[in-house]
Amino acid sequence: MSRVVLEGLEFHARHGVYETEAALGARFVIDAELHWAFAGIPDELGAAVNYAAAYAAIREEVTGERHQLIEVLTDRIARRLLRDHPRLEAVTVRVHKPFAPLPGVFRDVYAELTLRQGELESGG
């Protein structure tokens, strides 16, 4: 399957369990893999999945409603992309929280979800 990848989208948002996360916010990094069959399409935006529109939807989900869990945010983004773009066969979304409040040295914490268009009805 072919895919278009939006990688390393950075936003300041206030997701998290702790009040300090709600008050101060933190950096969140989003990766979105948009799986759809684009081999042989005409060279016209109308024949494609508009990744600028996908970016706008991701930005809205990340910077809008606050969630305690990055797993919930990941699910919301994946479902929104599938709803907004019926050409998509599947999406894989990763929400990175590189400054998660953990008592140790770490490189990253992230939630990852792959959803297919047919799975959209369940949940959310």
Residues that are catalytic: 97
Cβ within 8 Å of residue 110, ≥6 positions away: 29, 70, 94, 95, 96, 97
**Distance set, CA 25 to CA 5, 14, 20, 49, 99 (Å):** 26, 4, 7, 31, 10
Cα–Cα distance for residue pair 112/95, rounded to 1 Å: 7
- Output the six-digit token pair for 94: 């990763």
